[in-house]
Amino acid sequence: MSGSRRSMDWGFPRWRGYAGARETAKVRLCDRHGCDEPGDCPAPKSPNSAERWYFCQRHAAEYNQKWDYFEGLDKEEAAARAKSEQSENAGYAEAAHYGWSGSGDGTRSADEMRALDLLGLDADAEFETIKKAWRAKAKEVHPDVKPGDDEAAKAFQAYSLAYEVLRQAEERRTWKG
């Protein structure tokens, strides 16, 4: 047994001290004169250069505040570069689900949101409010009130369709719940 030595680093609790083999960690300070914060945000010293400044978050934000990617390009060249980068990075532009909705809390579909916008209502409008708004709008442009007015007839059809979309959605919600 005298030939086998067990390490002091087995089991719990550790039998040796935690700071036994630790060396000091090197922390790079912010390159801004007089700043004592850690410099963990690299920033290029000049365009197309491998050399970097290392700033703290506050000074990195200040450094990048007025940075313009398209500076020095004419209008056509900037538009061409923006288009090429958008097409090359289309998969990274944004997740598809961010484009599905507009305002609202996500409980209404895009068709419902368009119908609410047409009726001039907020995304969280109750169905009674929707019904009142539809009746008020429909009374203004009803074909009996404005006979022969094609624009009023189109508006009445649009309001009726919007109300129908919202009514069916409300029925689905109450039927599920």
pLDDT at 101: 46
pLDDT at 15: 59
Q: Which residues pair with 54 in a beta bridge?
A: 42
Of 98 and 48, the structure prediction assigns the larger pLDDT to 48
Tokens of 113: 């949101």
151, containing H or E segment: helix 150-176
| Segment 63-83 mean pLDDT | 81
Report how far apart, in Å, the C-alpha atoms of 41 and of each of 35, 91, 162 are: 14, 26, 51
- 98-137 pLDDT, tens digit each: 554 455 556 788 888 889 999 999 888 899 999 999 999 9
- Strands (E) in 9-160, as ranges, are 41-44, 52-55
Select from 1, 40, 35, 112 the least CA-distant residue to 122: 112
Instruction: List, in order of start, the domains of the chain with CATH numbers.
Output: 27-77 (no CATH), 110-176 (1.10.287.110)
* Backbone conformation region of residue 120, classed left if phi is above 0, alpha if psi is from -120 to 50, else beta: left
Question: What percentage of the chain reaches a pLDDT higher than 90?
Answer: 26
- Please write the tens of the pLDDT for every residue from 75-99: 898 888 888 877 766 555 455 555 5
Q: 67 vs 50, which has greater pLDDT?
A: 50
